[in-house]
Structure 1
Amino acid sequence: MALSVIFMGTPDFSVPTLTALHAAGHALTCVYTQPPRPAGRGMAERPSPVQRTAQALGIPVRSPTRLRGQDEQQAFAALQADVAVVVAYGLLLPQPVLDAPRYGALNGHASLLPRWRGAAPIQRAIEAGDEQTGVMIMRMEAGLDTGPVGVTRTLPIQETDTAGMLHDALAQQTADAMVEALALLEQGDLAFETQSQIAARTGREPVYARKIDKSEARLDFTASGRSVARRINAFSPFPGAWAEVGPDVDRLKFLRAEPAQGSGAPGTLLDDRLTIACGEGAVRILELQRQGGRPLPAQDFLRGQPLRPGTRLS
């Protein structure tokens, strides 16, 4: 028997889960999403990816600016849902909202909890050099990403994986894991493990994945080549790690990189393959972008703008 589901999500990351639950035959009684935001050159209000998808599927949509008012909470409870499914919604859920559905609220989170609670788990996992990431379906509590976990999927992080690449893979993993979680919930077989139990079993300690700030995006080549490559990959596509080059101070945004062998003054271009010396070792740029240009593989970029060995970047 299908469950009655309220879906709560906003960005592209949430869409695969919404469509997967619809395809699985669950009764999606309502979709909650962030209100339309001004976007584009004309700054016209643009509905969220989740709202556009829900409307295409014929699902009613609500977009309150907050859920703390009694009227909003009563309207939510009146839906009499079996469960709320939350994937990157963007609003805090007060306790009356968490308590309203019969089975509470399940959240799809893109990290291996308790590591990387918070706003930017994908980026921080890459930046820290984690060997794997994944998604967890947890029962929501009042605390930030602290609830017990019911379903886990893991994904290895390759050396040149970017946040954008992992975003897309984890979005689909979240959809698959949530469909599994609801199937287990229907059968009465969805069992949970506390995050303290997970920490004791795996050795993973709680770490907060703070939001990415644009001020972090300027590269410091005095760091090791491995850490520079990780930062480039973690900040791709947004906000994009960058450095300046040449007498005209051309800003280059680096979108994909790998550690490399080499030595020299930090920030010095070592060869014609975009290998840049770092404080320890070097970094090789695999994809980059000029201001106002489009992303290009390094070899294509160099055909249009050769950079000579010895060029300094800062």
Structure 2
Amino acid sequence: MRLAFMGSPDFAVPALRALQAAGHEIAAVYCQPPRPAGRGQREAPCPVHRAALALGLPVRTPARLRKDAAEHAAFAALGLEAAVVAAYGLILPQAMLAAPRRGCLNIHASLLPRWRGAAPIHAAILAGDAETGVTIMQMDAGLDTGPMLLRGTVPIGPRSTTPELHDTLAELGARLVLEALERDPPAVPQPEAGMTYAPKLTKDDARLDWSLPAAALDRRVRALNPWPGTAFRQGGEAIRVLEAAPAEGSGAPGTVLDAAGLVACGEGALRLLRLQRPGRGPMPVADFLRGFPLPVGTVLG
């Protein structure tokens, strides 16, 4: 089948490789343009760009699409049966949505209509959901509002993290989109009941609010690492919390309760397990506290 693939981050790479391995003809790969990265701020291609070059596929990196008639025409001229979209990062205008004969299929990392939007994996962990999954959706002009073609579920365990779910869902999405292209299942409209929205995350989401219950802060640590991360301020530094777990304990929120990194929360306490100072490597809490003590009674910011 003659396809275009449209995606940018690591999440999209398994689907691109699976489509190529299955024998589909990928006429073009669309992804975000190279961006400055690293200490030298040299322009670097995104993960999908690198994967496409390794597979010998042609790559297009338009900075915008909405009002670019030349890009719309070039896309239509590809003569596509379908386009597969996975976390591309640009909104497709109607002219492009309508160009492939079978339209554009989106790999969305949630069980739609729950967690439409930019950060569905993080949102599912933050909310304490028992499961998440992937929906293969026929795209329309709305934000993740199109009819559903296939869904697959994945349990969220009590210690699940965003990186773990990300990789599992990326592989599931690759399998499901191959099945959707092969079977061409009927499209089922999304119900409005149960619709929730997962907004884009920002650096402001990183701060830990000790007035929240320990269980909520634990979910936050598991959901928001590696980006935007979770942190508290102490001694003028933002200390990143890379791993933690809820524990028994009580006290004024933010107060250090013992010498091993137990911190009181709005309900219960949070056991700090792995921390990182700015410019330093991650450390188990025992090693961290030897160089950066948090005495009992300290109130963390």
Letter of the 1:66 partner, please give it: R
1:208-265: per-residue Cα shift (whole Å, max 9, x none)?
11111212211111111111111222211111111023xx333211122222211011
Q: Which runs of 4+ in 1 moved over 6 A?
A: none
Residue 233 of structure 1: SS of its match in structure 2? Answer: helix
Of residues 55-64 and 36-45 in structure 1, the stretch that sits farther from structure 2 once superposed is: 36-45
Alignment match of 2:228 (pick from 224, 227, 239): 239
Tell me if 1:266 matches 2:253: yes
1:150-181: per-residue Cα shift (whole Å, max 9, x none)?
11111111222222222222112211221221
Letter of the 1:32 partner, please give it: Y
Which ranges in structure 1 are unaligned for 5 or more consecutive residues?
Answer: none
Q: What's the C-alpha RMSD, in Å, of the aligned pairs?
A: 1.6
Report the Cα distance in structure 2 between the residues aligned to 1:287 and 1:19, rounded to whole angstroms.
Answer: 35
Tell me if 1:311 matches 2:292: no
How many residue pairs end up in the alignment? 300
Question: Within 5 A, what are the aligned runs for 1:57-136?
Answer: 57-67=55-65, 68-136=67-135
1:81-129: per-residue Cα shift (whole Å, max 9, x none)?
1110000001110111011111000000011110111111111111111
Q: 2:33 is matched with which residue?
A: 35
**TM-score, normalisation: structure 2:** 0.94
**What percent identity do the matched residue pairs reach?**
54
Of residues 37-46 and 113-122 in structure 1, the stretch that sits farther from structure 2 once superposed is: 37-46
Residue 153 of structure 2: SS of its match in structure 1? Answer: strand
Report the Cα distance in structure 2 between the residues aligned to 1:111 and 1:169, rounded to whole angstroms.
Answer: 12
Is the CA contact 1:5–1:28 (under 8 Å) kept in the aligned structure 2?
Answer: yes
Letter of the 1:237 partner, please give it: P
Residue 169 of structure 2: SS of its match in structure 1? Answer: helix
Is the CA contact 1:73–1:96 (under 8 Å) kept in the aligned structure 2?
Answer: yes
Q: 2:199 is matched with which residue?
A: 210
Q: 1:5 is matched with which residue?
A: 3
Is the CA contact 1:30–1:61 (under 8 Å) kept in the aligned structure 2?
Answer: yes
Shift of 1:142: 0.3
Tell me if 1:181 matches 2:180: yes
Is the CA contact 1:160–1:257 (under 8 Å) kept in the aligned structure 2?
Answer: no
Measured at CA, do residues 253 and 134 of structure 1 come closer, stay the same or move farther in structure 2, by a change above 3 Å?
same
Of residues 294-303 and 113-122 in structure 1, the stretch that sits farther from structure 2 once superposed is: 294-303
Is the CA contact 1:120–1:210 (under 8 Å) kept in the aligned structure 2?
Answer: yes
**TM-score, normalisation: structure 1:** 0.91
Q: 1:167 is matched with which residue?
A: 166
Shift of 1:311: 2.8
Report the Cα distance in structure 1 between the residues aligned to 2:23 and 2:111, rounded to whole angstroms.
Answer: 28
1:40-69: per-residue Cα shift (whole Å, max 9, x none)?
222221111111111110111111112232
Is the CA contact 1:160–1:256 (under 8 Å) kept in the aligned structure 2?
Answer: no
Report the Cα distance in structure 1 between the residues aligned to 2:168 and 2:22, rounded to whole angstroms.
Answer: 20
Letter of the 2:42 partner, please give it: A
Tell me if 1:54 matches 2:43: no
Report the Cα distance in structure 2 between the residues aligned to 1:287 and 1:195, rounded to whole angstroms.
Answer: 41
Residue 115 of structure 2: SS of its match in structure 1? Answer: strand
Report the Cα distance in structure 1 between the residues aligned to 2:71 and 2:294, rounded to whole angstroms.
Answer: 58
Report the Cα distance in structure 2 between the residues aligned to 1:101 and 1:298, rounded to whole angstroms.
Answer: 54
Which ranges in structure 2 are unaligned for 5 or more consecutive residues?
Answer: none
Measured at CA, do residues 299 and 173 of structure 1 come closer, stay the same or move farther in structure 2, by a change above 3 Å?
farther
Measured at CA, do residues 253 and 60 of structure 1 come closer, stay the same or move farther in structure 2, by a change above 3 Å?
same
Tell me if 1:192 matches 2:191: no
Of residues 265-274 and 222-231 in structure 1, the stretch that sits farther from structure 2 once superposed is: 265-274
Report the Cα distance in structure 2 between the residues aligned to 1:75 and 1:134, rounded to whole angstroms.
Answer: 34
Question: Within 5 A, what are the aligned runs for 1:268-287?
Answer: 268-287=255-274
Is the CA contact 1:223–1:278 (under 8 Å) kept in the aligned structure 2?
Answer: yes
Report the Cα distance in structure 1 between the residues aligned to 2:158 and 2:296, rounded to whole angstroms.
Answer: 25
Shift of 1:19: 0.7
Q: 1:298 is matched with which residue?
A: 285
Shift of 1:302: 4.0
1:185-205: per-residue Cα shift (whole Å, max 9, x none)?
3xxxx1222111xx6xxxx61
Shift of 1:283: 1.4
